Chains A and B, each alone.
Chain A
Amino acid sequence: MGKFLVRRLLQIIPVLFIISFIVFCLVFVAGDPVALMLPEDASQEDIEQLRESLGLNEPFHIQYLTYMAGLFTLDFGESFRYNESALPIVLERLPATIELAIAAMVIAIVIAIPLGIWSATKQNSPVDLLATGGSVLWKAMPNFWLGIMLILLFSVTFGWFPVSGRGTFMHLILPAITLGTGIAAEMTRLIRSSMLEILNQDYIRTARSKGIRDFFVINKHAFRNALIPVVTITALQTSTVVGGTLITETVFSWPGLGQLLIQAVNTRDMAIVQASVFVIAFIVILMNLLADIIYKVLDPRIKYN
């Protein structure tokens, strides 16, 4: 296990290297930020001067090498907008995003596990039809639309929750529901189909033949087996969750990484974009690593050598 961890952690380095290259290329292709940074009536001279001071007149490979040199010391350069080093700004926003993501995952798990198990054990019953139909409907609902509808209903009409921003627990609820129920919809279907498959396995019949109560047959013998594919797919979807966070944060003006990234893209604040994507990539890789570890804990058949 220790060796496996070290190897997996070392694998992160080339992955991050490739990702940073792709991000650099994308930002490079996206165009010149200078035009956006200066007022419309700025002279050509001013533009040239700013370009030079930012190192933007250098050829591609020189810019890339400068960027990479900075990367080794985790220096993504200065934000054009904040005039500060980019990484600390990004890291400062991270806790808000993590808070939202965790709250959403809690909601997703609390809904999806019981509902998925229930609808699998009562296949084709009204509960099952409602759960599967509901999850398709929910999955089809765009995050931003659901978010706006929740704001309209619960914040504007009823005034129960704040419209936007972060601060109290009440601020967290609507964005967490927006993000979490979407994840729950997908997870419910996954758990259901996984459970259905497991419930037909021979060892479930063995468990029943021992006289074990249905509750334990389902929750001990079946659920742990059903969880294995669910964990894998959920971990692979971390990037989808991150995508959802970007949208949800924008809708709710949640001061997280997503909101920062979207603003940075709009203002072509290269340093922030690069630092944010780098951090997000790092998180996604970590989540996948975590999934592998959980996998190992759940399934004794898996060996990492």
Chain B
Amino acid sequence: MTAKRVTFKLNGVTLEAPEGQLVIEAAKAAGVEIPHYCYHPALGNPGNCRLCVVEVAGAPKPMVSCRTQVREGLEVYTDSEPARRAQASSLELHLVNHPLDCPVCDQSGECGLQDYYMKFGRYDSQVREAKEHKRKRLEIGPHVMLDQERCVLCTRCTRFTEKITKTSELGIFGRGHKEFVDLAPGQRLDNAYSGNTVDLCPVGALTDKDFRFKVRVWYLDQTPSICADCSRGCNVSLHTNTKRPWHDEGRRLARVKPRHNPEVNQWWLCDEGRYGFKKFDEDRLGRVMRLIPYRRELAWETALDELASELRRELEALGPEGLAVVASGALSNEDWAAFKAFFVDALGCKRFLFAPQPDQLGIEDDLLRRKEKVPNLEGGKALGFGSAVASLSWERLEADLEAGKIWGLYLIERDAARFWGAKASALLSKPRLVVWQGPWKGRTGELAHFRLPATAHIEEDGHFTNFEGRIQAYQKALEPLGQARPDWSIFEGLRQRLGAAQKAAR
């Protein structure tokens, strides 16, 4: 149903909007920012922050724009003197009991109070009374810290737990200036989406335990990306700290925040995706190594030459049937294409393991989380992996290895050794050639013959296809660590070497 379009005036400019749209939304569409705390498109408009007040012609007093609907002939002023004064007064009331501990507050730099004070306030404080003190530094869940003093009681967080996660851990208690936000009795903010309350909180009342005191937000660079922790493909923004490496124990990726995409993840991100980023700088590979027959570091060109010649020798002697390739849905579409061109088209390889096995399956729910904890199985499917090319299972591969059918094992970002546990070293010593390729070392990285460092997806540009078939681009947020290269360029380098040799042989 499309609403009737009506004309109304915003700050003297005639605009068109669907009838019944909230003035705050219509203004946002026209590029006019009206300050607000409690209103959120997904969480409704309780109208309790009173910050979005505007002047409406004919109305005896300022109106809250989040509860005023557009109608024919409406005249709204957001920046007139009465509107400004009303907004500033509301802001001043919000700050009456605010502790103003910005220097130690993690929100500072992205705080609604700071931003709106600079944009809409700039009054001289008239408050002479002592501030109301409430409880600070409360660990209300595994990921979230609460500071009741800083809260402006917008109720966004309580409405999120009520309406979105339907867990209702948070509530508002008390009356008047003693009102405070807190956990419901006996509860802990421990749902799978608790981190979103931190994003929703316009002030420093709810902060990330994980990010607490690590880096100042103004040190961070933001890069649009796609979450790689399940096949949903949530849109995220990567916040990286590269200029001051002494913070956050040298981690380059400081935090992950959701990006609004109404088609995929709306405003939200699950805690798995949000807090899973620490792995990006841990156990990383930066050097090209050959571990067997003896351990030495190689230049990329030498490593690719050696690997290509070994592959060629075994292929000529034993044929492509004995080569098994274990891939992961973490490959980008670009990687998948190069993967197919190399392993299927150039080598004629037949044994693949890429379908999610228990090592890559997790919890699924009906909000965002998907069962497959890899981002890009669909990209492989589009190239025939899963339909034309069947996938092995770990058990089958294990059996084949035991039977000695496999002379070569090429593992890409999938830690077989961890999955096999104690059997791993025996199993991996069977083939003549074991290659480990990936951003992380894992256990397999210690047992392989070749160890090739690949970039993590945050270090390259690329595309993921999510479970619905939606192709989404992600951007390079960080420089590759050490010698790491994108997976596709490794496949391509090997393919060119083998191709050249085959041509020469012909």
Q: A and B: partners? A: no
Residues of B within 8 A of A (CB): none
